Structure 1
Amino acid sequence: MSTPTKLATTGPAPGPASASDSASGYRAGRTLPLRVELVRQLKRRRTLAMGAILAVLPFVLVVAFAIGGEPEGPGDRITLMDTATASGANFAAVNLFVSAGFLLVVPVALFCGDTVASEASWSSLRYLLAAPVPRARLLASKLAVGLGLSLAAMVLLPLVALAVGTVAYGWGPLAIPTGGSLAPGTAAQRLVVVVAYIFVSQLVTAGLAFWLSTRTDAPLGAVGGAVGLTIVGNVLDAVTALGHWRDFLPAHWQFAWADAVQPNPEWSGMIQGTAVSVTYALVLFALAFRGFARKDVVS
């Protein structure tokens, strides 16, 4: 009578095969390269439309000044708008001033809020993850491209405005409303600082849009939600009854860059605004990565 064969076990039961075992040459870091994602986003019509809007705005303002004459401030008060036609540098600064509060919010919300939600709405998100693209890699690539396009939008506007303003009003120093001026070279450096600060101040909107993009399959909901919450922040900042509580609102510091275009720049407001904006943004980005890592993706 034969004895039953004993099965020998020399270690723990084997688990599911890893990606490196199932696919020779697989490297998670090589999936969804930034170049591929950037090309995909650049070819989209919303990217081209937003770029066209920002590039056309300086021409619209030149025409408006040509039709309406010299800009006038309220009463005897001289504002940055009053110096719009003084030089190309002034015209570029005015374009940033009129667009920083809302127009530049839109591309940030669009590029960061539409990126993941659009894949879900096209039912292509699960196929990207099945490629297999690690979830953290997917979000990192899309966030990097979204922030890069947002920065490009903010650089495009003043560059076009500087070129158009120089042709229309000449190359010269940046006239300061409170008196004095900045040499063209110094003015250009200060405008670079201004653009950098505006980008940092918009990181909160980017964080909101990106977090919402990981929570919904509707791109319009993510973009509109980020823009709406940014507007709510602006409204709350206008409520003077909140007192010092407004210091914790990113909107309270959005125009702190005006201190940089002074003969003696003041940096304290920009430093506080940067700290507030970066803090909110890091929390929102962390929530986006944490929530998406646990999300059941079915789209």
Structure 2
Amino acid sequence: MTEEAAPRQVPAQASIADPVDRRVVAGFGVRLELRRQLSRWPTRLAWGLCLALPFVLVAAFHLGDRRGVGEASFADLATAGAANFTVFTVGAAASFLLTVVVALLAGDTVASDASHGTLRYLLAVPVPRGRLLAVKLTVSVLTAMVALLGLVVTTYVVGTLAFGWRPLRTPRGDEMAAGEALGRIVAMTAYVALTLLVVAALAFLLSVSTDAPLAAVGGTVMVVVVGAILDQVTELGPIRALLPLHYADAWWGLFTDPIRLEELAKGGVSTLVYSVAFLVVAWWRFLRADIVT
């Protein structure tokens, strides 16, 4: 029995050095992880929501009653043309929908593998932990940015078909030519993407801290919502400026004359500081974690 058992142990002992496992290690990268991410339902759901939103809003505006509506905000001017429709849609989506989308994509990436046991297999192959985190973070941010760009492009095209190509009108009564407005929208998109990095970094931190994807996603959304509520408490005074997303709406300054660069600069610095801090903690926790699932 001893002689018969010995051959059965050889493959098990050599499994880590098996050529197939070496190919997994060598092949693990952004391209492979991107294919895996695209096959998951959170990615498809996130992209689907972003692409569907402009159509839902156009239908809502056509079905709604616009009589008596003033021009006090971009919401009131949303049907003035494609540029106005895009500014309103992206601004409205950035306040909640895009937060959920980014939290879903970044919060699911590591925690999902941990819950299915895939994470332990990758580390046993072994894939270096730092490399694994870098790849997963890159892919989650990439898919989130694609969702944002898809929303912006789809909204502009749908807005052009529904409301025409007209100069952008601001609540103050100013007008911007279509070309200039398009440039401002590109800058707006870049700023929104920058502020969403805070959400992605926080979701990624929670994702490496739990093996429950819903906990990482839900925890991120809850923190953002609580932060938004605290930001409305004026009694906090200057303390509100320390909240991670206090300057999330500073992109409105891009549509004033002159542009409010001070608020945009403060928002950019705040975003980078919090994003780096969350990611440093995420790396520190994961590199020292005992992966048992």
Q: Which residue of 1 aligns with 2:119?
A: 125
In 2, distance between residues paired with 1:250 and 1:290?
21
Give 1:277 shift.
1.3
Closer/same/farther in 2, CA of residues 82 and 222 from structure 1, 3 Å limit = same
Q: Which residue of 2 aligns with 1:135?
A: 129
Closer/same/farther in 2, CA of residues 57 and 269 from structure 1, 3 Å limit = same
Aligned to 1:189, which of 140, 164, 183? Answer: 183
Q: Which residue of 1 aligns with 2:3?
A: none
Task: Check whether the contact 1:174–1:187 (CA below 8 A) recurs between aligned residues.
Answer: yes
In 2, distance between residues paired with 1:105 and 1:71?
32
Q: Which residue of 2 aligns with 1:3?
A: none
Structure 1, residues 36-84: CA drift from partner, whole Å, max 9, x if none? 10111012122112211111111111111111133765xx661111111
1:287 paired with 2:289, answer: no
Aligned to 1:278, which of 257, 272, 279? Answer: 272
Structure 1 unpaired stretches of 5+: 1-20
1:51 paired with 2:41, answer: no
* 4+ residue runs over 3 A deviation: 26-31
Structure 2 unpaired stretches of 5+: 1-16
SS at match of 2:80: coil
Q: Which residue of 2 aligns with 1:236?
A: 230
1:1-299 matched pairs, under 5 angstroms: 30-70=26-66, 78-299=72-293
Task: Check whether the contact 2:81–2:160 (CA below 8 A) recurs between aligned residues.
Answer: yes
Closer/same/farther in 2, CA of residues 27 and 88 from structure 1, 3 Å limit = same
Structure 1, residues 67-105: CA drift from partner, whole Å, max 9, x if none? 1133765xx661111111111111011101211111110
Task: Check whether the contact 2:25–2:126 (CA below 8 A) recurs between aligned residues.
Answer: no
Task: Check whether the contact 1:70–1:85 (CA below 8 A) recurs between aligned residues.
Answer: no
In 1, distance between residues paired with 2:174 and 2:285?
52
Closer/same/farther in 2, CA of residues 40 and 244 from structure 1, 3 Å limit = same
In 2, distance between residues paired with 1:111 and 1:187?
30
Structure in which a larger fraction of residues adopt helix: 2
- Percent identity over the alignment is 42
In 2, distance between residues paired with 1:186 and 1:192?
10
Structure 1, residues 200-219: CA drift from partner, whole Å, max 9, x if none? 11222111110111110000
SS at match of 1:177: coil
What TM-score do you get using the length of structure 1 for normalisation? Answer: 0.87
> May I ask how many residue pairs the two structures share in their alignment?
275
SS at match of 1:252: coil
Partner amino acid, structure 1, of 2:148: M
- RMSD of aligned alpha carbons: 2.0
Task: Check whether the contact 2:205–2:279 (CA below 8 A) recurs between aligned residues.
Answer: yes
What TM-score do you get using the length of structure 2 for normalisation? Answer: 0.89
Closer/same/farther in 2, CA of residues 41 and 71 from structure 1, 3 Å limit = farther
Give 1:231 shift.
0.6
In 2, distance between residues paired with 1:71 and 1:286?
52
Closer/same/farther in 2, CA of residues 103 and 72 from structure 1, 3 Å limit = farther
In 2, distance between residues paired with 1:70 and 1:107?
30
Partner amino acid, structure 1, of 2:48: A
Higher mean Cα deviation, 124-133 or 236-245? 124-133
Give 1:31 shift.
4.9
In 1, distance between residues paired with 2:24 and 2:256?
49
Partner amino acid, structure 1, of 2:81: S
